Structure 1
Amino acid sequence: MRILKSHPSYNKLLYWGKTISITALSQMVVQGLGFLCGILIIRLLPLEEYALYTLANTMLGAMTMLADVGVSNGVMAQGGKVWQSREKLGAVLMTGLHLRRKLAFWSLIVTTPILFYLLLHNGAGWLTSFLIVLSIIPAFYASLSDNLLEIVPKLHQDIYSLQKNQISVSIGRLVLSAILVFIFPWTFVAILASGIPRVLGNIKLKKIAYNFADESQKPDSIIRKDLMAIVKRVLPSSVYFTFSGQISIWFISLFGTTMALAQVGALGRISLIFNLFSALFGFLIVPRLARLPNEKHILLKKYLQTILLVFVFYTGLALTISLLSKEILWILGEKYSGLEYELILSIVGFCVSALAGVSFSFYSTRGWIIHPIIVILVDLSAVVSGVFIFPISNLKGVLQFNIYVASILCLMNLLYSLIKIKSIKV
């Protein structure tokens, strides 16, 4: 034992063991609560209401992406350079928050009319549509700052405080959903039950972040210029991918049935099982990738290790879920029975998208951005060709289409990451 403790790598291994254990345990609780909350809503909401809930949540994600368009990646990249200085990190954070609020206004202008139309198109009345749109506001308000605020404790690896706050928010969502949706099984109530705890958790998150970042700092014009350089380059592709990223939902909502919309939303909830590893990656690996020196051999080694780890994990989890497909569908309820093959397609699509996301996170935190015209042309080619190959008016066809498009984007991100690493001269 003494020999083991005296080994130069002992303290490092001990640190990583404790960090991963605490993070994994906390994320198991967070994701477990999120999964239970999702299943609860699936079971409590009528099929028609869950279809509207799926549509509203998808649009909320689109609104959040349009209010970001590269700001969070820019803050991570800039913050990774000055994370040891409270004042400089505060300036980066305040600049990012200021820019995010401006982008949020335009996000609302663009997405609100689209959501209203799609709700009406899928059978919601005018009053119901209005209430659903209003119910999104609390969650959208919290989203304007929470993922930027999380960057600060992530860079400082203050994982405990961050995850404690996440657990509190998850418990709040589960309790409110169980009480309110049981009494009032309506879409806007379910969305409010998720949004209100998120607003309260956002208040606590600010206190955590401001322990490491000086909140009195004013937005800095130089930092803003650097962030805007990223935003301008990312904006076209971000706007495009805001809608193309959930194209299966849009196709089903426009050309499919209400039942198919509810089914694709319910199957998507199973992917919450995968979020544990995604959260671990976001907490432990992405910030460290951002802090790595710009040296070819180090980046290549870490990148390949990360890709291999993600691939092995997701492949194993996908195989496990496919073997337990009937039992998993039983959890969703009788309304979603008989969708074993569709469940497997949904999980495969998520795995491929997750692998693409890992590569994107890697190169975006390095400040590397694929030219938006290239990204849009590649994806648009995949989408257009996929429309002719797969029947997008039914659930099975849309899920196959989703795998096809995600595979092409995954290949593009993998190749771009390797090309950028190889181009480093050091």
Structure 2
Amino acid sequence: MRRRSARVMLEHGAAQSVSQILGFVNGILVVRALDKADYAQYSVVIAVIAAAAVIADSGISSTVMAIGGRIHGDRAAMSALFSRAFRVRYLFGFPVIIIACGWAAVLLLQNGLAWDGTALLLSVTAFTLFPTFAAGLLRAYFRLRLRARFMQSVDIGAALLRLAVIGLGMWWGAISAAYLLVGGLVVAAAILIAFWIGAGASEMVRSEPTSNGREFWAGIRRVLPMTIFLVASEQALLAIASFRGNPEIVAEMAALSRFAVAFVVLNAVVSDIVAPRFSRAANHFLHLRRLMIQVFCGYLAIVVVFVALVWVAAPLLLALLGPGYAGLTGPLVLFAAGYGLANLAQAMNVIGQARGWVQWSWLYVPLSIIAISVCIFVLPLQSVSDVAVMFVLQCTPAVLTQIVRIVTGLSRAKNEPHEVVST
């Protein structure tokens, strides 16, 4: 069984590596094709879209995973569950879209974009979020059904489509932030269509929704405070770089973050392979504890190796970004360490939520406030190096919060009746 699980994870990781290598190539092409002002505006919109997707998912996918892990073999029950999830997602997601567009407008104007250009990018942002929200929820369906290969195929296809969009733009000489974001909208729509057909989502939305809407909203209330502050801390970094710094710092910050793509592969394995199995695992304390220790220590070891490799290969990595990013070895290594911590916390969050372990999520709020306050009052925050230090400090509260959540969840499992673990 262990050998089979290891083989599945390796196969999934290999497929995700192909997808992320394509994504990395796409990212490098974008960095080199845009000047820093244009790239700063592009990065702002991408960051806001990612933040809105995280907030809109607060507690919804975790509720689906927790319930779906028990009924995954019943197609009708699954359809009813996702019917309810879709309703909650868009009731909750619509105001998120409005707030996200308002925030994007503030940042775009601060980074030098005119009103007409801002209006265009906001329209693209809003229309991109609708398919992004739906596709994000449908991923939970494929995870519960253990259909990782289908997701792999879609992700690789999406990466190839992005590459085609970038290639055509370079061929036509039409590369700009607006062009690339419209291309991103096309890719988001294509992903949704593939997932919609693959999951038979038309049947889901026509199904009578389950009556457990309160359970979804309860999950949102438990997870939302931590999620908001997690996103707010990330956006604070972007806001400080925009208001205290300039578009050049925003562009450098975004460009140096490109190399964190390695963690996307690892997190795909955690989300698509590890978390579903953790959701379906028997409620046996020793078994769950062993799994958590293995995943946490394994992930932490990968983070350490990643940071060391980035430090050694820094000259080559900076050369890939172009001459405008030379001499940023220190910030590059700091961003690598910060993204390592952030992704460790994200992986533990996904696994914990798959089990419904969301207690103590609020702890992130005071810890994050302390970290941000220290950064604002101690660091000058007028260079990309200062921003990189702030990023590392910001990521620490997330890791600490996840450790507390996991320990609490394991304690609860210890006190609950044990289920037999099959061998």
Report the equivalent of 1:347: 336
CA contact (8 A) 1:177 1:194 kept: no
Report the equivalent of 2:145: 156
Moved more, 338-347 or 110-119: 110-119
Moved more, 204-213 or 246-255: 204-213
TM-score by length of 2: 0.93
Report the equivalent of 2:421: none
Alpha-carbon shift at residue 253 of structure 1 (Å): 1.2
Q: Distance in 1 between matches of 2:57 and 2:18?
A: 28
Q: Does 1:397 align with 2:399?
A: no
Report the equivalent of 1:420: 409
Of residues 55, 60, 63 in structure 2, which corresponds to 1:74?
Answer: 63
Q: Does 1:242 align with 2:227?
A: no
Give 3-state SS (helix, strand or coil) of 1:145's partner: helix
Report the equivalent of 1:53: 42
- Judged with a 3 Å threshold, the aligned counterparts in structure 2 of structure 1 residues 213 and 245 are, in CA distance, closer, same or farther, namely farther
Q: Distance in 2 between matches of 1:108 and 1:226?
A: 23
Q: Does 1:91 align with 2:84?
A: no
Q: Distance in 2 between matches of 1:111 and 1:154?
A: 28
Report the equivalent of 1:5: none
Q: Distance in 2 between matches of 1:162 and 1:374?
A: 33
- Judged with a 3 Å threshold, the aligned counterparts in structure 2 of structure 1 residues 13 and 374 are, in CA distance, closer, same or farther, namely closer
The residue type paired with residue 240 of structure 2 is F
Report the equivalent of 2:195: 205
Deviations 1:370-421 (A, max 9, x none): 3454331221122112322323232111111111121232123213312331
Q: Distance in 1 between matches of 2:63 and 2:90?
A: 15
Q: Does 1:191 align with 2:158?
A: no
- Judged with a 3 Å threshold, the aligned counterparts in structure 2 of structure 1 residues 373 and 29 are, in CA distance, closer, same or farther, namely closer
Q: Does 1:381 align with 2:357?
A: no
Alpha-carbon shift at residue 215 of structure 1 (Å): 5.1
Deviations 1:302-330 (A, max 9, x none): 00000011011121122112100000111
Report the equivalent of 2:300: 311
Moved more, 369-378 or 266-275: 369-378
The residue type paired with residue 181 of structure 2 is I
Of residues 282, 296, 299 in structure 1, which corresponds to 2:285?
Answer: 296
Identity among equivalent pairs (%): 21
Give 3-state SS (helix, strand or coil) of 1:218's partner: coil
CA contact (8 A) 2:97 2:126 kept: no
Report the equivalent of 1:36: 25
CA contact (8 A) 1:24 1:280 kept: yes
Give 3-state SS (helix, strand or coil) of 2:415's partner: coil
CA contact (8 A) 1:97 1:144 kept: no
The residue type paired with residue 324 of structure 2 is K
Q: Distance in 2 between matches of 1:126 and 1:37?
A: 28
Query: What's the RMSD between the two structures over aligned residues?
Result: 1.9
Q: Distance in 2 between matches of 1:211 and 1:106?
A: 24
Deviations 1:263-287 (A, max 9, x none): 0010111111221111111111011
The residue type paired with residue 100 of structure 2 is T
Q: Does 1:125 align with 2:114?
A: yes
CA contact (8 A) 2:162 2:184 kept: yes
Q: Distance in 2 between matches of 1:381 and 1:388?
A: 11
Gaps of at least 5 residues in structure 2 are 417-423
* Structure 1 outlier segments of 4+, above 6 Å: none
The residue type paired with residue 53 of structure 2 is T
CA contact (8 A) 1:153 1:212 kept: no
Deviations 1:40-66 (A, max 9, x none): 111111111001111111111122223
TM-score by length of 1: 0.92
Of residues 329, 352, 357 in structure 2, which corresponds to 1:368?
Answer: 357
CA contact (8 A) 1:45 1:181 kept: no
The residue type paired with residue 196 of structure 1 is V
Report the equivalent of 2:221: 232
Alpha-carbon shift at residue 358 of structure 1 (Å): 2.2
Alpha-carbon shift at residue 211 of structure 1 (Å): 8.5
Report the equivalent of 1:9: none
Moved more, 76-85 or 341-350: 76-85
Q: Does 1:219 align with 2:212?
A: no
Moved more, 346-355 or 246-255: 246-255
Q: Distance in 2 between matches of 1:285 and 1:421?
A: 17
Alpha-carbon shift at residue 192 of structure 1 (Å): 1.4
Q: Distance in 1 between matches of 2:70 and 2:370?
A: 37
Deviations 1:226-276 (A, max 9, x none): 111111222233233222233221210121111111000101111112211
Give 3-state SS (helix, strand or coil) of 2:123's partner: helix
